[in-house]
Amino acid sequence: MEISLVSFVFPTFLLFFFFLLLFKRRSTPTPPNYAPLKGYPVVGNIPYLIKNSHRILDWSAQLIPLSPTGTVTVAPFVFTADPANVEHVTKTRFANYHKPEPIIAAISDCLGRGLATTNGAEWRIHRKAATNEFSTASLRAFAYESACRTLTAQLLPLLLRVSRSGEVLDLTDALERFAFDHTCSLVFGEGAGCLGGEEGCEGDRFFCAFETAARLCVERAKQPFTLVWRIKKWLRVGSERRLLEAMEIVHAYVDRRMRRRPAADSSGWRDDLISRFTAGGHSEEFVRDNLISFVLAGRDTTPSALTWFFWVLSSRPDVVAQIREEIERIRSGRRQGETLLTQDDLKQMNYLQAAISETLRLYPPVPLVPRECLEDDELPDGARVLRGWVVMYNAHAMGRREALWGRDCEEYRPERWLEEGVFRPRSSSVYPAFNAGARACVGKEVAHLLMKVVGASVLEKFDVEVVEASGRRRLLMAMKMEGGLQVKLKQRRA
C-alpha cells in the first residue's frame, strides 16, 4: 500500500513556491482552473495552505464538492476526486507524475531505496520483483497459513483472556501487533512474537524501534527546511540521533533474520519473501530495503482498516448478524472438527467482503495520494497542471461523492457491493483504496485475506463492545483512529 505522508510534505513545497513567486515570473499564464479561493497578492494561496496544512484531508474534501468536475486548484496543488483524472495520473500519464522527492527524502533513512521510495527506472525494477512474488498462489497460501498460526497462537488467546477478565483492551494496538507478527512471518519465515510476548524481548524491541523510526520520519517531514534535520543528522543530535538508534535496531534485526533463515523444505524451497527475494539474485541491500517496506505496509495499513471496520460494526448489529449468518451457512456444509475458515470458505464470504470494502470506501487507510507533475499537463476534465505542481487524488472524498456512489454515499451500506448476493468489485480509479494504476498495492490480495480471516474469526467468537473511541482521523503513515479503539469483549457460545 501507499504510505500516507501527505500533510507533512506541505511545508517544503510551500517554501519552494513562496520563493518562486518572489523571484521568478513564469511566462506561462495561470491556467483557468476551478479555483474556489481568491489568492493574495504576491504570495498567492500560501496563507490558505499554511492555515489548513494540519487538516489538509478534511479541507480538500470540503473544497472538492464545490467544483462541478470534482477538481479544485489551490496552486501549486490540484485536488481531485474525478476517476478519469485518477486514471490519467496513475496510468495514462504515469511517467509524468512521480512520488514527490520531499516525501522520499524524509522516509528513505527508514525505508532505504525500495518499492516505496523510488521513481522511474529504479522503481520499475523493484516493482517487477515484488509483483513476481505477490502474484503467486503459493505466496497467498503461505500468507493464509501464517495468518492462521498467528491468529490461533496469539490473537485469539489474547482476546479470550481479555473477555474472561473483563478488562478494557486497546484493539488497535492488538491488531497492529498481530499484523506486525503476521507480516514478519510472511517476510522472514518467523513471527516477531510481539503480541503476547514479553516486553523487552527481541521482537518487542523490533516492533517499538520500527514504530519510533516511522514516527520520527513523520516528524522530520513536518519541518519546513530539510536542512534543519540534515544538520541534526550530521551532528547526530536530538530526534535524528533517536532515529539512527532505532534504525540500528531495525537493521540489526533484519540482518540477523537474513543470516538465519529457516531451513528449506524437502524440495529446497521456502515460501517466505526473504527466501524468494534472495533466490532472485538480488543484492542484500535490495532485499533488506524492500523487506522493511513490506513490514511497514503490513504493520500500518491493514490494522488501520480493521480498526475502522470494528468501530463501524459496533453501531451496526444488523451487519454483524448477516456476517455471522454467512459464516454459519458456510460452516454447515463442512465436516465437524474443522475450526478455522479455509481460503475457499473466505472466497465464498461475499457479504463479509462487501462489508470490508464498504469500510475501505469510507475510511481508506491512505486517503490522499500526492503526485508531482514533471512537465505541464492537462487532466481529462480540462484542469491544467504546471510543472512542479502536485496533484492529489482524494480517496476519502471519492468515497463520499454522490456522482460516484449515489445519494446514500455517506451511508454505510455493504449491499451496494452485491449483485444477487455476489460481490462485484469496482474499478480502482473509482475506488482507489489500494491505490490505482501502475502503483496499485502489490499486497492487495494478501491484505484482503488477512482482513477477512481476522474479521470472521473475531466476530464469530466474540461480541465487541466499544468503550471509548474518538472516531477522529489521524494521518501518519496510514489514516489511524486517534487514541485507538478501546473495547470490551464477551465470548459467544459455540
SS (H, E, C) the chain: CCCCCHHHHHHHHHHHHHHHHHHCCCCCCCCCCCCCCCCECCCECHHHHHHHHHHHHHHHHHHHHHCCCCEEEECCEEEECCHHHHHHHHHHCHHHEECCHHHHHHHHHHHCCCHHHCCHHHHHHHHHHHHHHHCCHHHHHHHHHHHHHHHHHHHHHHHHHHHHHCCCEEHHHHHHHHHHHHHHHHHHCCCCCCCCCCCCCHHHHHHHHHHHHHHHHHHHHHCCCHHHHHHHHHHCCHHHHHHHHHHHHHHHHHHHHHHCCCCCCCCCCCCCHHHHHHHCCCCHHHHHHHHHHHHHHHHHHHHHHHHHHHHHHCCCHHHHHHHHHHHHHHHCCCCCCCCCCCHHHHHHCHHHHHHHHHHHHHCCCCCEEEEEECCCEECCCCCEECCCCEEEEEHHHHCCCHHHHCCCCCCCCHHHHEECCEECCCCCCCCCECECHHHCCCCHHHHHHHHHHHHHHHHHHEEEEEEEECCCEEECCCEEECCCEEEEEEECCC
- pLDDT digits over 369-413, tens only? 999 999 999 999 999 999 999 999 999 999 999 999 999 999 999
- C-alpha of 430 from chain center: 17
* pLDDT of 8 over the 70 cut: no
Instruction: Kindly report the length of the chain.
Output: 494
Indicate the residue type of 470: S
| Comparison of pLDDT for 361 and 28, the residue scoring more | 361
Contact 138, 186 (CB under 8 A): no
Q: State the CATH architecture for 6-491.
A: Orthogonal Bundle (1.10)
Q: How many CB atoms lie within 10 A of CB 141?
A: 13
Q: Which range (139-143, 220-224, 476-480) has the least confidence?
A: 220-224
Domain ranges of the chain: 6-491
Least confident window among 30-34, 200-204, 310-314: 30-34
Q: What cell numbers appear for 102 in the block?
A: 520531499
Q: Is the pLDDT of residue 176 over 90?
A: yes
Contact between 180 and 194 (Cβ < 8 Å): yes
Model confidence at 306, in pLDDT bands (50, 70, 90)? very high
pTM of structure: 0.90
What is the grid cell recorded at 452? Answer: 477477512
The stretch 234-258 carries a mean pLDDT of: 91
Name the more confident of 481 and 227. Answer: 481
For residue 450, what is its C-alpha cell?
A: 488477512
Per-residue confidence (pLDDT) for residue 370, from 0 to 100: 93
Residue 244 has a pLDDT of: 93
Q: How far apart are CA 101 and CA 84, in angstroms?
A: 25
The residue-averaged pLDDT of 62-75 equals: 94
Q: Comparing 376 with 225, which gets the higher pLDDT?
A: 376
Q: Is the pLDDT of residue 417 over 50?
A: yes
> For 269-296, how does the pLDDT look when each residue is reduced to its tens digit (9 = 90+)?
567 888 888 877 788 888 888 888 888 8
Mean pLDDT of 105-123: 89
pLDDT band at residue 25 under the 50/70/90 scheme = very low
Peptide bond into 303 cis (omega under 30): no
pLDDT bracket for residue 28 (50, 70, 90):
very low
pLDDT score of 448:
93
* 315 in Cβ contact with 344 (< 8 Å): no
Mean pLDDT of the chain: 87
* pLDDT: which is higher, 24 or 100: 100
For the cut 70, the answer to whether the pLDDT of residue 24 exceeds it is: no
Chain centroid, CA 481 distance in Å = 13
Please say if the pLDDT value at position 156 is more than 90. Answer: yes
